[in-house]
Amino acid sequence: MALWTRKSVNVVNHVVSRVGFLGMINQSSWPHSFYRKHPISDACARNLKNPVTDFVNTPAHFPFRRFESTKAETQSDTLHDFDANQQVLDFPGGKVTFSSELRFISGSPEERVHCYRVLDDNGQIITGSTYVQVNKEVALKMYSDMVTLQMMDTIFYEAQRQGRVSFYLTTVGEEAINIASAAALTIDDLIFPQYREPGVLLWRGFTLQEFANQCFGNKADYGKGRQMPIHYGSNKHNYFTVSSTIATQIPHAVGAAYSLKMDKRDACVVTYFGDGGTSEGDFHAALNFAAVRDAPVIFICRNNGWAISTPTSDQFRSDGVVVRGQAYGIRSIRVDGNDALALYSAVHTARNIAIREHRPILIEALTYRVGHHSTSDDSTKYRPAEEIEWWRLARDPVTRFRKWIESNDWWNAEVESELRNSVRKQMLQAIQVAEKVEKPPIADVFTDVYDVPPSNLVEQEKLLRETIKRYPKDYPSDVPV
Q: Could you give the CA distance from residue 347 to residue 191 in angstroms, rounded to a whole number?
A: 13
* Greatest alpha-carbon span in the chain: 90
Our finding on whether 51 is near another protein (CB under 8 A) is no
For residue 26, the Cα-to-chain-centroid distance in whole angstroms is 45
Partnered with residue 361 across adjacent β-strands are: 298, 331
Piece of 305-313, 350-358, 418-426, 445-453 that binds another protein (CB under 8 A):
445-453
175 is catalytic: no
Our finding on whether 286 is near another protein (CB under 8 A) is yes
Considering only CA atoms, which of 241, 269, 245 is closest in space to residue 257? 269
Piece of 55-63, 258-266, 410-418, 425-433 that binds another protein (CB under 8 A):
258-266
Our finding on whether 116 is near another protein (CB under 8 A) is no
Our finding on whether 216 is near another protein (CB under 8 A) is no
Is 287 in contact with 331 (CB distance < 8 Å)? no
Beta-carbon count within 10 A of 226 CB? 13
Task: Indicate which single residue of 204, 231, 351, 372 sits in contact with another protein (rule: CB under 8 A).
Answer: 231
- Smallest distance, another protein to C-beta of residue 96, A: 21
Piece of 22-30, 306-314, 372-380, 440-448 that binds another protein (CB under 8 A):
440-448
Our finding on whether 113 is near another protein (CB under 8 A) is no
Q: Could you give the CA distance from residue 168 to residue 199 in angstroms, rounded to a whole number?
A: 15
Our finding on whether 279 is near another protein (CB under 8 A) is no
Is 432 in contact with 212 (CB distance < 8 Å)? no
Our finding on whether 224 is near another protein (CB under 8 A) is yes
- Smallest distance, another protein to C-beta of residue 186, A: 17
Our finding on whether 248 is near another protein (CB under 8 A) is yes
Task: Indicate which single residue of 146, 184, 230, 260 sits in contact with another protein (rule: CB under 8 A).
Answer: 260
Which residue in the list 231, 348, 372, 373 is annotated as catalytic?
Answer: 373
- Smallest distance, another protein to C-beta of residue 125, A: 38
Please provide the distance, in angstroms rounded to a whole number, between the alpha carbons at the two ends of the chain. Answer: 81
61 is catalytic: no
Whole-Å CA distances, 227 to 147, 182, 231, 445: 26, 24, 6, 12
Which residue in the list 166, 244, 259, 407 is annotated as catalytic?
Answer: 244
Q: Are strands 269-274 and 297-303 parallel, antiparallel or unpaired?
A: parallel
Our finding on whether 451 is near another protein (CB under 8 A) is yes
Which residue in the list 14, 33, 101, 158 is annotated as catalytic?
Answer: 158
243 is catalytic: no
- Smallest distance, another protein to C-beta of residue 251, A: 3
Q: Could you give the CA distance from residue 394 to residue 406 in angstroms, rounded to a whole number?
A: 18
Task: Indicate which single residue of 250, 267, 307, 347 sits in contact with another protein (rule: CB under 8 A).
Answer: 250
SS3 133: coil
Comparison of 15 and 292: residue with beta carbon closer to another protein: 292
Comparison of 92 and 107: residue with beta carbon closer to another protein: 92
Considering only CA atoms, which of 226, 166, 168 is closest in space to residue 440? 226
Is 344 in contact with 132 (CB distance < 8 Å)? yes
* Per-residue contact string for residues 166-205; x = within reach of another protein by CB under 8 A: --------------------------x-------------
Comparison of 70 and 234: residue with beta carbon closer to another protein: 234
Residue 88, H or E segment: strand 88-91
Piece of 77-85, 171-179, 284-292, 358-366 that binds another protein (CB under 8 A):
284-292
372 is catalytic: no
Q: According to DSSP H, which parts of 268-333 are helical? A: 281-293, 312-315, 322-327
Which 293-312 residues touch another protein, going by CB under 8 A?
293
Our finding on whether 227 is near another protein (CB under 8 A) is yes
Task: Indicate which single residue of 5, 17, 122, 259 sits in contact with another protein (rule: CB under 8 A).
Answer: 259
Task: Indicate which single residue of 108, 166, 245, 412 sits in contact with another protein (rule: CB under 8 A).
Answer: 245
Q: Could you give the CA distance from residue 336 to residue 326 in angstroms, rounded to a whole number?
A: 19
Beta-carbon count within 10 A of 397 CB? 29
Our finding on whether 466 is near another protein (CB under 8 A) is no
Considering only CA atoms, which of 127, 225, 202, 143 is closest in space to residue 176? 143
Secondary structure letter of residue 379 according to DSSP:
G
Counting Cα atoms < 13 Å in the Cβ hemisphere of 37 gives 9
Residue 96, H or E segment: strand 94-97
Our finding on whether 369 is near another protein (CB under 8 A) is no
Whole-Å CA distances, 117 to 104, 138, 319, 336, 393: 33, 19, 18, 5, 19
Comparison of 117 and 224: residue with beta carbon closer to another protein: 224
Comparison of 290 and 365: residue with beta carbon closer to another protein: 290
- Smallest distance, another protein to C-beta of residue 306, A: 23
- Phi and psi at 303, nearest 5°, equal -85, 90
Catalytic residues: 158, 244, 373-374
Sites of contact with another protein (CB under 8 A): 192, 221-224, 226-227, 231, 233-235, 240-241, 243, 245, 248, 250-260, 262, 269, 281-282, 285-286, 288-289, 292-293, 444, 447-451, 454-457
